[in-house]
Amino acid sequence: MEFYHKLDTVMSHFSKSGGFLTVKSGDKVNTMTISWGFIGFLWGKPHFITLVRPTRYTHTLLETADSFTVSVPFGTKASELSFCGSSSGATVDKSRTVTFISSKNVESPIVEGCDMYYECKIDYRETMKDSLIPKSILETMYKNDLHDIYIGEIVNCY
């Protein structure tokens, strides 16, 4: 598996317009828009690292899930990304806006019609500690709502 395939294109689109972070826990599925994340090599395997605030509905699902997926469109889903980034899955059924399809190796589905997919098995999760974050970042990026960090082994990408 070449997890670095099209990585420059993926990160360019991801950082500018975002991607879909999708998780399934039990019979519940939700996706949200993310544009903060890292792809790299950790513990001898490729991993995707993402950040999710505890106030997000997706966070609730991630806490009991064993996987997540990241679906990255290359410019074809601006309205869907906007909707999924501004609406909570706790009150809105996002499957009316995006179509979820089964992934190949994990429980969490992918979002149909994207250009790159990462299927990830959760290896680690931790709450950020404000004492370890530079004051300038805390003041500009956080207001008592630190992210939790999720590290997922990339078990498939295509």
Is the confidence at residue 112, as pLDDT, over 90? yes
125: number of Cβ within 10 Å: 14
Q: Is there a contact between 89 and 32 (Cβ–Cβ < 8 Å)?
A: yes
Strands 148-157 and 67-72: unpaired
As a whole number of angstroms, the distance between CA 46 and CA 41 comes to: 4
Structure confidence at residue 2 as a pLDDT band (50, 70, 90): confident
Q: What pLDDT does 70 receive? A: 98
Q: What pLDDT does 75 receive? A: 81
Structure confidence at residue 144 as a pLDDT band (50, 70, 90): confident
Dump pLDDT digits (tens) for 26-58.
999 999 999 989 999 999 999 999 999 999 999
**Degrees, nearest 5: CA angle 73-89-62:** 80
Q: Which residue has the tokens 């294109």?
A: 9
**Residue 53 tokens, joined:** 């605030």
Q: Is there a contact between 76 and 146 (Cβ–Cβ < 8 Å)?
A: no
Dump pLDDT digits (tens) for 56-78.
999 999 999 999 999 999 987 89
Instruction: Give the residue among 77, 88, 79 at the shortest CA–CA distance from 110.
Output: 77
45: number of Cβ within 10 Å: 13
Strands 67-72 and 19-25: antiparallel
Q: Is there a contact between 119 and 67 (Cβ–Cβ < 8 Å)?
A: yes
Q: pTM of the full predicted structure?
A: 0.93
